[in-house]
Structure formats: C-alpha cells, structure tokens
Structure 1
C-alpha cells in the first residue's frame, strides 16, 4: 500500500512541533544530527572559516552548532529555525554563554530566509535540507544570501527513495529525515541548479548507524519517562523497533546513509 504524501504545510508544522520539543533532545542528545560535533568540525574545516566571518546556520535547532562555531572559530553566527521554541532556547543558551553579541537567532523558513542578499561568508545546514518540501527553493535561498566566493556546507541523510521499505515512508519518516532524503548526486544537482559550484562530497554512513543505535538505546528511557508526550507527537512505540530495524538494514544495503557536501558561490556566474 502506498502511503499518501504529506502536504508541505503538514511537514513544516510537524517538524516544528517535534524539533521544538524535548523529545528530540532525549533521543538524540545535544546534536540533532549523525556525527555530532565531530562531523560539524570536519564540515567547518572544509568551509575554511576565518575569524569574524559571518555564518548562517539554517535549521539551527537549539543552537549547539552556532555556539560551537562562535566559540571555536571566532565567527559571527546567525541561526534561523522554523520552531519559535528552539529560537528562544538557543538565544537563551547564547546569553548564558556570554556570546549574545556574537550569535543571534531568528524564527524563519529556509525556503524564505529573512536576510538580505549576499550577506554571509558561509552557510551551514545539518540534517535538515532533506525535510524541506521545496528543496530547489531552499537551495536558491542559500545561494542568494551567500556572498560571491562564500561557501555552503550541508550534511544530510542520503537515500535511494524508490527502494526504501514502507516503514521509512510517511509523515513520521519525513520528520525523521528519511522519507524525502535523496541520493547525494541529486542534492549536488539541486545546489548546482541554484548557481552553486560543488567542491566536495563524501559519505559518512557509519555516523547514521551510530545514531540508529543511540535512538534504540534511548527509546526505553523515553517510554518510561515521557511516553504520553512522545505519543502526542506521533511516536508509536510498538512500531519503533520495526522502523529502526528497517533503517539499519537500509544502511547495510547502501539504500540509506549520511552525506556531506560543500559548494561555493562563484565570483562570476558560470
């Protein structure tokens, strides 16, 4: 049976509600993406960040990446997130860390970024591009706000969507960054069509396997301590083992994984 494709409004509403809740933090920890801060630092190195660069963190969550970049790379960071709850928590974290003058957060949609043209030296987007319903529009926005010569770095779920099992489709799978994930070459093509030039691509599938193991290990804690809240957000504890098993098998078969891409905005159109 084919699962009905959710509308863009359903996807955005569910993603904002879920990623603005404590449930994601309970399942994933501080970094809401495979590879955690280790992969984020690798991405930052590929972006060749320098002090005082202005960086945009798209789908910034609760600010973990933005705060790390400001502290370790001495850059100025704007974070944008669809969830107003995440924005408030991220700004509170920046205030508590004493970097409020260096890091600021705004509620906004990646497909309509609330920033002028050509203002950022670098843009990062971790484990979120695959959830954007209109990926070409989001890519065009990343390119629009980037200065000529600036770089964009993505880390994201990659998949062969036509071959994913039924357990990895539907609205819940969209929120879990699986249902609309694409092959890494397709992400690269979307960025290229937006006027960006691909500089680096790579797979980090081991990070996906570790995250699946982490979620499996924490499900029992969530069941005991926050079952009602989790179920209100759509968590089905009876189906979760089958979904995780399907995800693990898809990674082993090369149908699901995690990718990294870096592109730049050429000084002149090609």
Structure 2
C-alpha cells in the first residue's frame, strides 16, 4: 500500500477514535499500562527529547498526549513548553490535573483535538512528538501533513511507533487490535513515505524492539490480575474490551514479536 492511500480498515474512523479514547481512559488500561501508554515509558520519552535537543526556549506539541505523562516528563526534564493535543475530553481533564499536581502547569497545557485536523495555527512549534499513536490514526497521510503544517521551518518531528514486517496475521486484526496499536502498524519504509510525502525530511530511523517485547510481557503478566479485579468489581471494563480476547491478542502479539514480525522504532524528521 502506498503511503498516500487510505487503508481498508473495516471500521468507521470515528468508531476507531472513540473506542481508543474510551479504552485508554479506563481503569483497566491504567492497571495494564501504568502511566506511560507506550513501549519504553518515560525513559524512551526522555531519550526522544534528547535526540530532538529540546530546551527551555522550545515550544513542543505532543500529539495524542493521553493522560499527559510524556508532556509532563518533557517539561520536567528539558524545561520546554509543551501543549498536549488529545482526542478524549476526559483525558484532557485528567492530564490537566496531573500537570497541576506536578507543579508544571505553567509549562504544560492540554487541549482537545484530532490529530487529523489539529486546531492550531501554521508554523507554531519547534518540535512535534507522537508516541505509539500514529499507527492508530485512520488517515495517516492527513495526520502527517498536519505535523508538517504546525511545525516551524527548521522544526523537528520525533515519532515512535510499532513496525511490522510482512502482512499482519489474522489473529492480530479487528477493533481490539486497532486499540492495541497493532492492526495498522506500518513497515518502516511506509512511515518514512508518509513523512516524506508530507514534506518532511527523515534524518534518523532507530529500532527499539526490546521496549515492545518488555511491554507485551508485562501486560501478559498483569492480565490475570486484571481479570480477578474485574470479578471483585474493583476494575470496570469498557464495553469494547474483553479480557479473554485481550489474552489471546497478547499471546499472538508476543509470538509475532519473537518471530520479528513486529518491532518498535523511533523516527526523526525535520521541516526545511
């Protein structure tokens, strides 16, 4: 598939976005994923910030910012101003409260918005980051064009996401697989094409497969505990999440990672 083609995803784009937002704000997602909903956690976020050479003078946009952990980490580590854009209004509220509690609300703010139609002016940011979310955007070409649009000339993009080699196995397709960032993971060269066709110049591609393997193993270890807590009414499942399906998906994902069908990578690009 060319990078300018929309995938045949089998679900409405709005359904995917709404389901992802609902699941990621659930108690069970926080139980399984912790505070950073991506492989490598805050350590990989800080590494990405160092690759971008962030500093106190920079205006940074965190796209699909979730509950705000990455934005807060970047502000805390580098002193930069960070705006987080997130599809879920509930997540924006939770992230805003987290920034206030961290004492960094003078540096970090959050706003509701869609990555495919950012509610922001052109040429406004020194850096854009997007961690483990680009693969969930139904219209990736439009999202990449939005990254380009809001960057200042000379600004940089830091993208981290799941990668794949070959076709996605049938057991790793479906709505739950979209929510888990698997169903539309792209080959590395496809990510590069999306960015370059949007006008960006790719400077670095770096594999971090070990971060994905560690995250999947941790989730598999927590799923049994999550099921017990659900039975004790201490965790509430969102309607689109079934723990039996999640266990099956996690097993299949772990096998695919061991077979090197899936990995995780960082890409850096800049706007001329």
TM-score tier (shorter): over 0.9
- Is residue 238 of structure 1 aligned with residue 239 of structure 2? no
Structure 1, unmatched stretches of 5+, are: none
Are 1:247 and 2:253 an aligned pair?
Answer: yes
**Alignment coverage as a number of residue pairs:** 263
Deviates more, 1:231-240 or 1:191-200: 231-240
TM alignment of 1:40-189, pairs within 5 A:
40-160=45-165, 163-189=167-193
Contact 2:220–2:251 (CA under 8 A) maintained in structure 1: no
4+ runs of 1 displaced by more than 4 Å? Answer: 227-231
Counterpart Cα distance in 2 of 1:53 and 1:226: 43
Distance in 2 of aligned mates of 1:240 and 1:23? 11
Distance 1:73 1:34 in 2: 21
2:225 to 218, 221, 225: 221
Alpha carbons of structure 1 residues 186 and 118: separation in structure 2 relative to 1, 3 Å: same
Q: Deviations over 1:142-168 (max 9, x none)?
A: 1100000010001101113x5222221
TM-score normalised per structure 2:
0.93
Shift of 1:231: 4.3
What is the match of residue 16 of structure 1? 21
Match of residue 199 from structure 2:
195
Distance 1:231 1:211 in 2: 20
Aligned to 1:25: 30
Instruction: Report the RMSD for the aligned CA atoms in angstroms.
Output: 1.6
Name the counterpart of 1:264. Answer: 270
Q: Normalised by the size of structure 1, how large is the TM-score?
A: 0.93
